[in-house]
Amino acid sequence: MRCTAVGGVGGSGCVCFFRDTFVARGPPNGGNGGGGGNVWFEVDENETSLNCVKQQLKARPGTNGQGKSMHGSSGKDLIVKVPKGTIVREAPPNPLLAKSNSGIELPNGTGFLDTLEKDMQQDMREREQDKNSWFVHYPRWEDRNDLTKVLVPQEFKAFKWELENPKPLRFDLTEHGQRALVARGGLGGFGNPHFISSTERQPHYALRGLAGQRRVLELELKTLADVGLVGMPNAGKSTFLGAVSNAHPKIAPYPFTTLNPYIGTVDFRDTFQMTVADIPGLIPGAHRNVGLGHSFLRHVERSRVLVYIVDVSRHEPWNDLLALQQELDLYHKGLSSRPSLVVANKADMGDQARQNFERWQQMTSIPIIPASAKYKKNILKVTHTIRQLLE
Q: Are strands 368-370 and 340-345 parallel, antiparallel or unpaired?
A: parallel
- Look at 127 and 148; give whichever has higher pLDDT: 148
- Which tens digits make up the pLDDT trace of 196-212? 988 888 999 999 999 99
Degrees (nearest 5) of the Cα angle 305, 247, 371? 60
The predicted pLDDT at position 207 comes to: 93
The predicted pLDDT at position 260 comes to: 62
The predicted pLDDT at position 121 comes to: 56
Phi and psi angles of residue 138, each rounded to the nearest 5 degrees, phi first: -65, 145
Asked if 204 contacts 143 with a C-beta cutoff of 8 angstroms, the reply is: no
- Average pLDDT (45-71) is 90
Q: Beta-carbon neighbour count of residue 133 at 10 Å?
A: 8
Query: Side by side, which strands form the sheet with 56-58?
Result: 56-58, 2-6, 214-221, 86-90, 170-173
Packing angle, helices 379-390 and 237-244, rounded to 10: 80
Phi and psi angles of residue 350, each rounded to the nearest 5 degrees, phi first: 80, -170
Q: Are strands 2-6 and 56-58 parallel, antiparallel or unpaired?
A: parallel
The predicted pLDDT at position 318 comes to: 86
pLDDT bin (cut points 50, 70, 90) of residue 190 is: very high
The predicted pLDDT at position 105 comes to: 41
- Which tens digits make up the pLDDT trace of 220-258? 877 777 888 888 887 888 888 888 887 776 665 555 555
The predicted pLDDT at position 96 comes to: 44
DSSP 91: P
Cα-to-chain-centroid distance, residue 103: 38
- Average pLDDT (20-27) is 85
The Cα 30–Cα 52 span in angstroms is 41
- What are the angstrom distances between the C-alpha of 359 and each of 221, 317, 341, 363, 368? 40, 10, 18, 7, 12
Query: HEC profile for 171-203?
Result: EEECCCCCEEEEECCCCCCCCHHHHCCCCCCCC
Cα-to-chain-centroid distance, residue 354: 48
Which residues partner with 275 through β-bridges? 265
Phi and psi angles of residue 56, each rounded to the nearest 5 degrees, phi first: -120, 115
pLDDT higher than threshold 90 for residue 116: no
- Average pLDDT (331-352) is 85
